[in-house]
Amino acid sequence: MNFPDKLKSYQDRIDKHLRSDLPGSSTRPSRLHGAMNYSLQAGGKRLRPVLLLASHDLFPGQNDPIPAALAVEIIHTYSLIHDDLPAMDNSDLRRGVPTCHKAFDESTAILAGDALIPLAFELVAKGYQKIPELGLKLVNLLAENAGSQKLVGGQMEDLLAEGKQPDEDTLMYVHANKTAAMIRVSLLMGFLLGSRANDDDLLNLVSQAGYSLGLAFQAVDDLLDITSTTIELGKDASHDKDAGKMTWVSMIGPENARELAQQHTEHALASIDEIGGENQFLLELTHYMLRRKN
Ligand code: GRG
């Protein structure tokens, strides 16, 4: 199967389960479930669950990766809903449609984000209850990476840095935690559900690949803010620039940011290459992430 077809088949599989495995929009309170499903089904590249499935397929095993894949997309979606709120980035557009608080209202969007967090953990806990040792490990990994020293911590420092003089230490902290942590943990969870989960050398390589891929992804995201249009992005272009965000573009300029994205991509490719297994799709996905337009 060629790369675009494989990517689409992963995305379709995730979309299907997001529609069928979660409480539907008519579940009481329907306004809350309506808002949760609105944001989950607004689209999005499904990058994190695709990475999880592809990482699982490196060395496939008997475990079903879908509950974990849904969980990482659900945590990511909550973070977008909360990030878009007026108290944070105050964005009107996300995934090509009005943000959750614009389509509903602020209180509903806060609650929709809140409710998505335990839903993600419920899926992992229930999905892997027959393999409790691995299940707990996955719960722990997801909690750590979504928590105050990773995703939320990165978001906190990102907000604190707005309008400040750019400094590399802060920027690295924000990118490593706000962005790379969830990308890395997606690869790790997929790998741990596969048949080589006990191979620590491979696990280390997967971790390194995830970290580099996450940093490359964020450097590209910084560039897209100034090179892509609102239509292409599905969210406001020039948002970072207008908000005085600390980005690689504001710190080292677009050419150096592009160079940096390239370097992180090469590191990721080297690790994925060394991992071996059925790694062709992940190698192609890494290239695709560098040339993406949204
Ligand atoms: C509110 C705790 C909390 C965190 C918010 C996700 C996030 C952290 C902020 C969004 C802004 C941003 C630039 C984050 C960096 C990660 C990133 C580029 C997210 C967007 O991910 P994509 O491009 O989005 O994968 P889709 O819509 O395709 O899923």
CB atoms within 10 A of CB 186: 31
* pLDDT on residue 207: 98
Residues 87-132: tens digit of each pLDDT? 999 999 999 999 999 999 999 999 999 999 999 999 999 999 999 9
Q: In angstroms, rounded to a whole number, what is the distance separating the alpha carbons of residues 10 and 169?
A: 36
Q: How far, in Å, are 60, 209, 242, 283 from residue 275 at the CA level?
A: 14, 9, 41, 11
* pLDDT on residue 177: 98
Cα 269 to middle of ligand 1, angstroms: 23
Residue nearest to ligand 1 atom 14, measured at CA: 179
Residues 208-260: tens digit of each pLDDT? 999 999 999 999 999 998 888 888 888 888 888 888 888 888 889 999 999 99
Residues 158-185: tens digit of each pLDDT? 999 988 887 899 999 999 999 999 999 9
Calculate mean pLDDT across residues 77-91. 97
Query: Is 20 exposed, middle or buried (CB count within 10 Å of its CB: 0-12, 13-18, 19+)?
Result: exposed
Contact criterion met (CB below 8 Å) for 14 and 73: yes
278 sits in the region (left: phi over 0; alpha: psi -120 to 50; else beta) called beta
Residue 61 backbone dihedrals phi, psi, to 5 degrees: -135, -160
* pLDDT on residue 23: 98
Give Cα 222 distance to the centre of its chain.
15
Cα 133 to middle of ligand 1, angstroms: 30
Cα 22 to middle of ligand 1, angstroms: 22
Contact criterion met (CB below 8 Å) for 1 and 9: yes
Q: In angstroms, rounded to a whole number, what is the distance separating the alpha carbons of residues 193 and 49?
A: 13
Q: Is the CB of 82 under 6 A from ligand 1?
A: yes
> Sign of the C-alpha dihedral, residues 107, 151, 266, 197?
negative
* pLDDT on residue 156: 97
Q: In angstroms, rounded to a whole number, what is the distance separating the alpha carbons of residues 286 and 209?
A: 10
1 has pLDDT over 80 = no
Q: What is the mean pLDDT of the chain?
A: 95
Contact criterion met (CB below 8 Å) for 33 and 143: no
Q: In angstroms, rounded to a whole number, what is the distance separating the alpha carbons of residues 204 and 188?
A: 9
Question: Which among 136, 6, 131, 121 has a CA at the least distance from the CA of 74?
Answer: 121
For residue 77, the ligand 1 atom closest to its alpha carbon is 29
Q: In angstroms, rounded to a whole number, what is the distance separating the alpha carbons of residues 125 and 67?
A: 9
Calculate mean pLDDT across residues 130-135. 98
Cα 213 to middle of ligand 1, angstroms: 15
Q: In angstroms, rounded to a whole number, what is the distance separating the alpha carbons of residues 233 and 246?
A: 19
Q: Is the CB of 235 under 6 A from ligand 1?
A: no
